[in-house]
Structure 1
Amino acid sequence: MLKIWGRLSSINVQKAVWAAGEVGQAFERIDVGGPFGGLDTPEYRAMNPNGQIPVLEDGDFRLWESNSIVRYLAARYGAADLWESDVARRAEAERWMDWMLSELQPALAPVLWGVVRKVPGYTDPKVIADGMKRAEALMTILEAQLADKPFLSGERFGVADITVGCGAHRWFNMPVDRVERQGVQRWYEALFARPAAQAALPLPIT
């Protein structure tokens, strides 16, 4: 059985849990990180020297970095459904995965920290407003991508929808005023209806 190390309130752990559910693999999730601690133990550092979550254990194989875990699970267990054999289509999906890490996730983080988690230094209204402005601009990009297709890479649900969908889950469930975007809303509702998504994306967000 797979093991996924990390607390479920982490967006990166949510990606791994969602991917495991989509490929139909049973797993044990172990709470570490945040209020659970455990990231600085020698045993955990042996699995991930960065002291971050998640870590995936698949037998004797251990893997860290959330997007790499999603790719691995899709390629090993979900090739018929999630993993694109066509190189161009796979590159398009992976581009959105990278966009999530480099653009959307950093934009959403200060809003979450200020509005939901009340982290000192992030509750300043200007900090929150700046994060919202950046996130809205990125959501405009996402809306354009979804204007004429049901999923990020086209007609088929895939790895990009898992990773960016975790960000959309935060966006739609934070207590903030958002610009209405029908394409992103429709896409998110379709994603959240999936059983694997519901198991991975708890409400309320914390």
Structure 2
Amino acid sequence: MLTIWGRKNSSNVMPVLWTADELGLTYDHKMVGGSFGGINTDTFKAMNPNMRVPVLQDGDFTLYESNAIVRHLARAHGQGSLLPDNLKEQAHADQWLDWHKTTLTGPMIDLFWRTVRCEPDQRNPDLIAQAKVATEKALALLDAHLAGRSFMVMDRLTIADIPLGTLIYRYYNIQVDHQDFKNIKAWYARLQDRPAYRKNVMIPFGTTLAEWDKLERSLV
């Protein structure tokens, strides 16, 4: 039995749960981290000394880091579906998983924390604007890549779409003006057609820190 550790409103846990459900895997989900606690324990530290989620357990095999888990699940259970058969297409999928971490995640999370995870009277408009500019600079590259494409690498969903698709939901649900990225919007609409995306990614997070905390505590 697979066990996935991590609160389901975490942008790092979402790709793992989404991947597992796309693959039709049976797993036990442990809600830890954030307001659920449970990561500052000897048991959890033994699995991940960084004390961060997600963590995957598969028998005596343990793995942390979200994109590593996504890759592992696809290699173990999604060869020819979420993981392309062709080595060059696999390489391109890996490229976009790395791009997600090196280029988009930093500014996107900065924008998220300066808006949703910050009370209105503590928000700095200049820093929000800077984070938005940096986020949309990266998204412009993504939009250009998606021109003429249904998904990131192939004509179907692969691991390349999953971490990026998680951040795109956050971008479009933060209360800022959004650029008109036509190709991203079309891709985002295709993602929303997928039950596993709606279940694991489209989780309301509110517009303030108080709303975030209340919604997190309501998760089961």
TM superposition score normalised by structure 1: 0.95
- Quote the offset at 1:154 in angstroms: 2.7
CA distance in 2, matches of 1:41, 1:127: 35
1:187-206 correspondence runs (5 A): 187-205=187-205, 206=212
Match of 1:74 in 2: 74
Render the CA deviation track for 1:52-106: whole Å, top value 9, x for unaligned. Answer: 1000111221110000100011111111311122221111111111111111111
What amino acid is the match of 2:43?
A: E
Residues 5, 54 of structure 1: 8 Å contact kept: yes
The alignment of Structure 1 onto Structure 2 pairs a total of residues equal to 206
Secondary structure, in 3 states, of the residue corresponding to 2:160? helix
Match of 1:25 in 2: 25
Match of 1:117 in 2: 117
CA distance in 1, matches of 2:179, 2:143: 11
Secondary structure, in 3 states, of the residue corresponding to 1:176? coil
Match of 1:154 in 2: 154
Residues 169, 202 of structure 2: 8 Å contact kept: no
Check if 1:135 corresponds to 2:135: yes
Residues 14, 200 of structure 1: 8 Å contact kept: yes
Secondary structure, in 3 states, of the residue corresponding to 1:160? coil
CA distance in 1, matches of 2:65, 2:203: 24
- Quote the offset at 1:37 in angstroms: 1.5
Match of 1:105 in 2: 105
What are the ranges of 5 or more consecutive residues in structure 2 without an aligned counterpart? 206-211, 213-220
What amino acid is the match of 1:161?
A: D
Residues 113, 123 of structure 1: 8 Å contact kept: no
Match of 1:6 in 2: 6
CA distance in 2, matches of 1:64, 1:129: 33
Match of 1:94 in 2: 94
Match of 2:38 in 1: 38
- Quote the offset at 1:110 in angstroms: 1.5
Residues 9, 202 of structure 1: 8 Å contact kept: no
CA distance in 2, matches of 1:21, 1:175: 29
Render the CA deviation track for 1:15-38: whole Å, top value 9, x for unaligned. Answer: 100000011002221111111112
CA distance in 1, matches of 2:60, 2:111: 38
CA distance in 2, matches of 1:199, 1:29: 14
Percent of residue pairs bearing the same amino acid type = 38
CA distance in 2, matches of 1:15, 1:3: 15
What amino acid is the match of 1:186?
A: A
TM superposition score normalised by structure 2: 0.89
CA RMSD of aligned residues (A): 1.6
Residues 4, 56 of structure 1: 8 Å contact kept: yes
> Which of 8-17 and 81-90 deviates more?
81-90
What amino acid is the match of 1:61?
A: F
CA distance in 1, matches of 2:100, 2:188: 15
